[in-house]
Amino acid sequence: MSSAIFKHLSTLKKCLFPLFEVRKYDSRSLSYILENHDISLNEAYLRTKQKYETKKLPLDVNPKAVFACNELDLKEVKVYGFDYDYTLAVYKPSMDLLLYDLGKDCLVSKFKYPKSIAEMKYLPNFAIRGLHYDIEKGLLMKLDSFLQIQLGTVYRGLTPISDSEVLKLYKNKTIPLAYVENQGKNSQYFSSKMIQLADLFSVPEMCLLCNVAEYFERHNIDYHPEILFRDVKTSVGSSHPIMHKIVQKDVAQYLESNPGIREWFQKLRKADKKLFLVTNSPYQFVNTGMQLMVGKDWEDFFDVIIVKARKPLFFTDESRPLRIYDKNLDTHLWDKVTHLHKGVIYYEGTVSQLQDLTGWTGGEVLYFGDHPYSDLADVTLEHGWRTGAIIQELTHEINTLNKESFKKNCNWLQMLTQLIEECQDIDEPGAKDTLEKWMIERDVLRQDIKNIFNEQFGSVFRTYHNPTYFSRRLFRFADIYTSSITNLLHHSVDHVFYPRRGVMPHEYSSYFV
């Protein structure tokens, strides 16, 4: 429960009754006061509403801020590492459409899916990052940090599944951990019954998956959900080399210029920081994008460049040798790598080799990526690196949070929820009907707050009550997170990021007085 709610309860009690001395008695709840001071539920509601209308709205959040999950002192950071896709490279919506169309074409041409599927359009606002797909049941859904299904966000194809059907299928709102999590350190992709689609490349993949499932459902075509999932994933994945070539021919059509990167790199080099790049993308693709964003001399900023790293295997494999990539021949060489040289492009390898050959270890390394698992988890848990997550959705989410109508709805939702909680045991005529009306109003508010982010699935970061499962992993594996890598340009290389102290439920009474 947030500090805003605790503060609200104090103001709510002041609003509802003039007998302030009741605050001396911790055991006396609002329900006790209502029962003993002849204040009706309707009057309590009206006075709460009046208080809400005069309640000061929260200040706006800066969309370009850097948010800390863990204290991070940049003075201790000597080495800055980067992923490329969706970290340094910011793609336009045309990239999603390209991946969707390429995957769709592959399904029809290679896997012989019905030709009518080729007519299905991309739905850019259907899915969000961080959703889970039940491979066995063919359902796309959103889970919270407690592995609870957010009812109202479960879809078969493009069709929402009723709450009663969801409970019938799963017997419970909470999904067992073994059903969700991959088991074992090196287990990959399909070892659990659910897969989380946690990077932005997966958004067009989710749309294609649901479009095809909807087609099958509407045409009464029998299909196996797991086979469909694998075919779609293979189709989109195998389309990446084609995508790379298309983007290289007209990079400005697909990639934002992302101004500020060069200036930040210059700032880091001036402060004598080391820079490295570890990406899964091929060199020619990265080179085209970096020339657009940074300049033709972009390689000069980096001490080490590794392409086709095959993350997360780069962070988990124990033996996979680094190889030298020949830019002129567009191939990798067989020479044994015993030293890392600036200006040389490397291929594959492991994080252990990178650390052994550079001496860069532990908290002196700060690595930025967009994927909380394949980019950040292992380097945090196994190697002690500091980590930064680049979450582009923050811009949309924060702009939504800053809307006056959203702030008002959130204030009223908190105050109404507190009123319901405190009055639910009141014994007076008509109390049950009154509380039921309040609950209906509360449900409408919750739905409105969800839909303003995304009509199907709501916010990337929270369900109705709790952080999403995606947020849980993000907050666990990222020391800091922000919407764009260039937001770091606003901070000095000696800046300290401090996490905000939140109020825990058991701290209520100490903050209430």
Residue count of the chain: 513
**105 flagged as catalytic:** no
83 belongs to the catalytic site: yes
Is 83 annotated among the ligand-binding residues? Answer: yes
CB atoms inside a 10 Å sphere around CB 154: 25
Residues 6+ apart with CB under 8 A from 359: none
Inter-residue contact 282 to 330 (CB < 8 Å): no
Is residue 351 within a helix (H) or strand (E), and if so which, with residue range? helix 351-358
Which one of 26, 83, 199, 448 is the catalytic residue? 83
β-bridge pairing 304-307 and 274-278? parallel
Tokens found for residue 63: 């969309």
Choose the catalytic residue: 60, 85, 222, 356.
85
Q: HEC states along 204-264? A: HHHHHHHHHHHHHHHCCCCCCHHHHHHHHHHHHHHCHHHHHHHHHHCHHHHECCCCCHHHH
How far from each other are the two terminal CA atoms of the chain, in whole angstroms? 17
What's the rounded Cα separation, in Å, for the pair 504 and 330? Answer: 55
Q: How far is CA 104 from CA 126, 130, 160, 235, in A?
A: 17, 22, 23, 7
DSSP state of 134: E
How far apart CA 443 and CA 104 sit, in angstroms, is 38
Q: Is 456 left (phi over 0), alpha (psi -120 to 50) or beta?
A: alpha
**Is 85 labelled a binding residue?**
yes
- If residue 499 lies in a helix (H) or strand (E), which one and from where to where? none
Q: Which residues are catalytic?
A: 83, 85
Binding residues for GMP: 85
Binding residues: 83, 85, 370
Binding residues for Mg(2+): 83, 370
